[in-house]
Amino acid sequence: MKNYELKHLPDRTEKPRDFGLTMAMDKGLSLRETEDFIETSGEYVDVVKLGWATSFVTPKLKEKINLYKEAGLPVYFGGTLFEAFIIRNQFEDYLRVLDKYELSYAEVSDGSIDMNHDEKCEYINKLAQRATVLSEVGSKDDQKIIPPYKWIALMQKELDAGAWKVIGEARESGNVGLFRSTGEVRSGLVEEILTKIPSEKILWEAPQKAQQVWFIKLLGANVNLGNIAPNEIIPLETIRLGLRGDTFMHFLDMEKIGK
Amino acid sequence: MKNYELKHLPDRTEKPRDFGLTMAMDKGLSLRETEDFIETSGEYVDVVKLGWATSFVTPKLKEKINLYKEAGLPVYFGGTLFEAFIIRNQFEDYLRVLDKYELSYAEVSDGSIDMNHDEKCEYINKLAQRATVLSEVGSKDDQKIIPPYKWIALMQKELDAGAWKVIGEARESGNVGLFRSTGEVRSGLVEEILTKIPSEKILWEAPQKAQQVWFIKLLGANVNLGNIAPNEIIPLETIRLGLRGDTFMHFLDMEKIGK
Amino acid sequence: MKNYELKHLPDRTEKPRDFGLTMAMDKGLSLRETEDFIETSGEYVDVVKLGWATSFVTPKLKEKINLYKEAGLPVYFGGTLFEAFIIRNQFEDYLRVLDKYELSYAEVSDGSIDMNHDEKCEYINKLAQRATVLSEVGSKDDQKIIPPYKWIALMQKELDAGAWKVIGEARESGNVGLFRSTGEVRSGLVEEILTKIPSEKILWEAPQKAQQVWFIKLLGANVNLGNIAPNEIIPLETIRLGLRGDTFMHFLDMEKIGK
């Protein structure tokens, strides 16, 4: 969508995107709200997460997933749901749920449980044979600080195990994992990760505007960002394009413009 | 709603509930938004408050109330509206408004005005003869600190006067009454109240997620919680069921699961 | 809308208003959400801003603008869009966009760019010949502090150049311009401005509730307020009328009521 002509905008990748991804978090939209969301933002969203285990209690789940599918938007269940099945020894049941809802994307995470990393990679490997897997690194517990070298090792092993993308944890609120409890980015952590893992392979959870701005300034218009609330997708797209105050001058080359 | 089978979930009371209540706050939904809200969350909501005096300026009020009623959801006007009539010497007019909208629930509060407590209990008593009464304790003024023994005395007298439940004040924002200005729970206050007043008789206003988590950890899946925003009802239900990171391990007995 | 009778309410101006204005910020509503918004709040809103440059990426833009127009609500594009055209030397293109969408309101601002003030006033003057102009004073950069005497000089010159109202900058978040980074009002600044510029000529951006309350207590029910989120219009109207806790006692004369 470009309603009129503006010059000197940063290049934006187009769908189907392998980078420049936007992952939206739906935590319980109604069917009509889902349609509305697709109308305004379907073009800018690449994949939709049904946050944590909200799919367990959301009415008309199948219909909702179908609305997204018809709009070309893949859907997956939040990693907390995967963990809820695992801790109950119900992995086979989890696979049946993926089948029932015909989901071709899945998330593997260990943000709320302790899991041996080899075991986690086995799950990634198994699921990768039937679905596109996103695997998440980082704890939801703000007391568990993982040092940078370990983030890198975990991410690399998960990619090797078959993950399509690795996700940097932030939760809906944006105050754990990649971020301090204030929401501030752990910038040293991010920069060290990027020395070893290609930016294109990472989906950064960044629910807060200041976090989105930080990543876009560091990595450009086409950084992969996730956990974006439905009504923040259009605002995010303007930030990516340098059309909101926060990144307004960032992409402009004044010499080229002739000013 | 349970879209698939997960073992070892906490027991949740079912409708019509006397405890485990969720009270939602509607501060101006349109008719279509009301329908959407009922679709996603009607099963998890027990009673709907039209926040403070928003009913005065909300268009299509009668139609909205009817939508809720048809879905089996009782509606009541926020306590601030009661107070707005009282301070203007218009109690009789207030009764006529309840009649006009055929409301069978009502709230009595004194969060914004000074009222003799015997007078408040008389209003509770009068209204209890025609409606199910929720009475609220706690000031909206963050400078007025009520000591715990007094919270207990007020609550007991209001229950004795005929209140169905007593509400612990928090406002839409969750930063007065039960909570410090930062939103942190006055935990000593809550624990002292609970030594005298049964948990089932109290509806705790807890608009913020951390507040909901705190009460659920203290009092279980079926604590009565209120002032929940419409789009936070599904998230709250997952917290009650131990299906969000915050309470994920809380209800699990690892020995029972065999892990 | 007044669903029932309450005495002793402050007088509220009625549409079409020249003061007591409420400006809402739409940052990407769908068509159906726009209809819902008009249903609940159309009566209380005087003008709608399509926030910053969201109009560039919003689907069905023409249809949305038409919905607002049919409801008697003028629409304008946020000032950041004006600036995006100016910095690219595309002012003529900007005029063509206003024509294409048949907009009779326009905003002129320099919150994200450096612009000579005479040049800004020229743009105001040019645009005022074809549209009702709102011009904005204040930077989006929280490091750029403008002293009060300069706010006054800028505002006066912009009114002289043809602006219908001058806007005090706050952004969507309410933490720059008129406000400290904490959201607190720069009260000395506001009071000094008001010694020279009539309150009726200023539209104060005040997205946060505490900011709205502050202005209403200082300037009354009919202060012009802007950057109000669509779902905060009804709450704001209750604050204006003294029907929310924050302003509950503010407009009441207890002697007159006879209490």
How far B49 CA lies from chain A's nearest CA (Å)? 21
Q: Measured between CB atoms, does A245 come within 8 Å of chain C?
A: yes
Between A142-146, A242-246, B88-92, C42-46, the lowest mean confidence (pLDDT) is in A142-146
Q: Which of A241, A247, A245, A192 is nearest to A214 (CA)?
A: A247
pLDDT of residue C174: 85
Q: List all residues 6 or more positions away from C256 whose beta carbon is below 8 Å from its beta carbon.
A: C8
Q: Counting beta carbons within 10 angstroms of the beta carbon of residue B256, is it exposed (0 to 12), middle (13 to 18) or buried (19 or more)?
A: exposed
Residue C169 in this model has a pLDDT that exceeds 90 = no
CB-CB neighbours of B208 under 10 Å: 18
Contact B259 A89 (CB under 8 A): yes
What residue of A is the nearest CA neighbor of C95?
A4
Interface check for B84 against chain C (CB to CB < 8 A): the answer is yes
The answer to whether C32 faces chain B, any CB pair under 8 Å, is yes
Size of interface A-B (CB pairs under 8 A): 99
Measured between CB atoms, does B183 come within 8 Å of chain A? no
Nearest CA in chain B to C245: B112
The verdict on B44 touching A (C-beta cutoff 8 Å) is: yes
Q: What is the pLDDT of residues C186-231, one digit of tens each?
A: 999 999 999 999 999 999 999 999 999 999 999 999 999 999 999 9
Residue-wise pLDDT for A106-157, tens only, equals: 999 999 999 999 999 999 999 999 999 999 998 888 888 889 999 999 999 9
Residue B1 has a pLDDT of 62
> What size, in residues, is chain A?
259
Name the stretches of chain B with pLDDT < 50: none
Nearest CA in chain A to B7: A88
Across all residues in chain A, what is the average pLDDT? 95
CB of A31 within 8 Å of any CB in chain B?
yes
**Cβ within 8 Å, pair B57-C258:** no
CA distances from A11 to A80, B6, B95 (A): 35, 45, 63
Mean pLDDT across the stretch C144-167?
Answer: 95
Residue to substitute from B29, B50, B56, interface C, most C β-carbons within 10 A = B56
Instruction: Give the CA-trace dihedral at B139, B145, B149, B154, to 10 degrees.
Output: -20
Statement: residue C52 has pLDDT above 70: yes
With a pLDDT cut of 90, the percent of chain C lying above it is 87
DSSP state of C200: G
Q: Averaged over A201-221, what is the pLDDT?
A: 96
pLDDT at residue A171, as a whole number: 86
Whether A238 sits inside 8 A of C57 (CB atoms) is yes
The DSSP bridge partners found for residue C140 are none
Q: For chain C, say whether A184 makes contact (Cβ under 8 Å).
A: no
Q: Is there a contact between B243 and A53 if contact means CB atoms under 8 Å apart?
A: yes
Domains along chain C? 22-257 (3.20.20.70)
* pLDDT confidence of residue A174: 85
Between CA A168 and CA A36 the distance in angstroms is: 28
Closest Cα in chain B, distance from residue A79 (Å):
10
Query: Closest Cα to residue A57, out of A88, A24, A40, A80?
Result: A80
State the Cα torsion B206-B211-B217-B220 to the nearest 10°. 10
Q: Which of residues 97-156 of B touch C (CB under 8 A)?
A: 97, 100, 111-113, 140
Sign of CA dihedral B52, B55, B59, B63: positive
List the alpha helices (DSSP H) in A59-177: 61-70, 79-87, 91-100, 117-128, 148-160
pLDDT for the residue numbered B77: 98
Q: Collect all residues of chain C within an 8 Å Cβ-Cβ radius of residue B55.
A: 3
Best residue of A40, A184, A213 to probe chain C, by most C CBs closer than 10 Å: A40
Q: What's the gap in Å between the CA of A159 and the closest CA on chain C?
A: 34
Q: Is ipTM > 0.85 here?
A: yes
Which of B36, B209, B245 lies at the smallest CB-CB distance from A30?
Answer: B36
**Chain C residues within an 8 Å CB radius of A243:** 52-53, 56-57, 80-81, 84
The share of chain B scoring above pLDDT 70, in percent, equals: 99
- Looking at chain B, which subunits does it touch, using at least 3 CB pairs closer than 8 Å as the criterion? A, C
Query: CB-side exposure of A18: number of CA atoms within 13 Å?
Result: 5
Q: Give bridge partners of residue B187 from the DSSP assignment.
A: none
Tens of pLDDT, residue by residue over B183-202, are 999 999 999 999 999 999 99
**CB distance B248–A85 less than 8 Å?**
no
For residue C88, give the nearest of A7, A35, A40 by CB distance: A7
Residues on chain C touching B27 (C-beta within 8 angstroms) = 231, 234-235
Lowest mean pLDDT among A81-95, C162-176, C204-218, C237-251: C162-176
The partner residue sitting opposite B40, judged by closest CB among A30, A52, A56, is: A30
| C143: confidence class by pLDDT, cuts 50, 70, 90 | confident
Interface of C with B in 199-218 (CB under 8 A): 209
Find, among C41, C39, C47, the residue nearest to C21 by Cα.
C47
How many Å separate Cα C70 from the centre of its chain?
21
| Chain-chain contact of B244 with A52 (C-beta, under 8 angstroms) | yes
**CB pair distance less than 8 Å for C87 and A238:** no
pLDDT in tens, A169-182: 888 888 888 889 89
Residues in chain C: 259
User: pLDDT by residue (tens digit) across B59-97?
Assistant: 999 999 999 999 999 999 999 999 999 999 999 999 999
C-alpha–C-alpha distance, residues A107 and B202, integer Å: 39
* pLDDT at residue B6 in the model: 97
A31 contacts B7? CB cut-off 8 A: no
Averaged pLDDT, A239-254? 96
CA dist C68 and C64 (Å) reads 7
Question: Are B237 and A80 inside 8 Å of each other by CB?
Answer: no
Phi and psi at residue C176, in whole multiples of 5°? -140, 180
* Six-digit token string for C66: 């038409």
